[in-house]
Structure 1
Amino acid sequence: EVQIEKEHKKINDAVQHHLISPPHHVPLTSLILTTYSNELLNYFNHSYFAPISYQDQLRAIEQATTATSIRRKLEKFNLILRITDKGHNFYVGSMIEFEKKVQKFFQDTKAFIELTENPFNEILNKVIQLLNRLREKNFILAWQYKKMMPDRTKCELAHLYFNPKTHKEDISVRPIENTILAATTNISNLLDEIIRPIFDSK
């Protein structure tokens, strides 16, 4: 069951991140995400506990062998494997060249700076302190406070990664900010629930 939970979380988080990001912009509170998560969990429960046919066992071994082979080749030749931006396919290229593209993006845009230390605890503590102050002054209700409070055991530092633009001639990169498990995500989700109906009704 622990393995099922890990696999479910890994896949569900990846799909969820893909759907809430551009160009889809599916709300994090959308019913479709909850439905997918539940159906995925049901599928895992059925797959793990139902008897596996001999043919499926062979297919699983073959797929595992292929995946292992791909990982080894990527490591051996210092390659990188990424989902492409808008292309709905995969990009395989030199890790060194990809890093050069990332550095070029930083130099050209000057939109980001590299952190020299991990600010996770500082950010998390500030969010918690802010919510505590708002609750103490009755600026927010108890249920709002509870819903916005981040879970220290599940939060992660928001991070940046890049997807290659294979539809561009020079294959530049697009920055993606992963904030799904950030300390402020619960606040964002609640605000989205409150504000979105205003725009959806127009």
Structure 2
Amino acid sequence: MTMTKEQRSRNLKPVTSGAKSTPSKQDRPSSISDESKETTLVLLDDKDDPHQVYAGTQSPAFNQALINQAVGSIWYGAAVDPATKKQLQCSAPGAMMNIGPKDAIEGMLAAQMVATHNAAMECYRRAMIPEQPLVGRESALNHGNKLSRSYATLVHAFDKHRGRGQQTVRVEHVHVYEGGQAIVGQVSRAGRMDAEPDHQSGIATPGEGKNGD
């Protein structure tokens, strides 16, 4: 069938020669201003970020992401009412705030401690479900025990990073004169001991009284 000139003009679409169809500015992501430019991430450093008490850093993006990760580790159950769900959601950042992280490492450890605790408690809850097979109860208890050990490891790493995992003995202004001896550390005494200077060496000899006994 032969098409008339008027019918052919209706089926034609205007195409610009040598140009590609590009989306309008409204269709483009706001972070990309031009197709020839790459997306640039802007990292903010805000010392007054209110979320710093939860994650320990001055990066709002990191703090909020860590809070969301901790909240995402919560198990809500099959059917939970909105009030209980809100309480559980607030419990994760509440625990992180009371742990009190001071930097990014402590913040990540705090979030992992919250997640590990939640997982362990869920395993223990499942172990208490009545009328379940013994193998199911044992499996839940075993997983809960492993998670509890992981939690203890995280707490130890947190304390070690903060400097509370080791004991430091600090000694100041110790004067040791010529011929004398000094002991730094814990000294236990099994009974009464008298000391008298050795006239030859000037060193106090334990166990010798004034009368030589």
The answer, yes or no, to whether TM exceeds 0.5 is no
Higher strand share: 1
Where on the TM-score scale, by shorter chain, does this alignment land: which range? Answer: under 0.3
Higher helix share: 1
Could you tell me the TM-score, scaled by structure 2's length?
Answer: 0.20
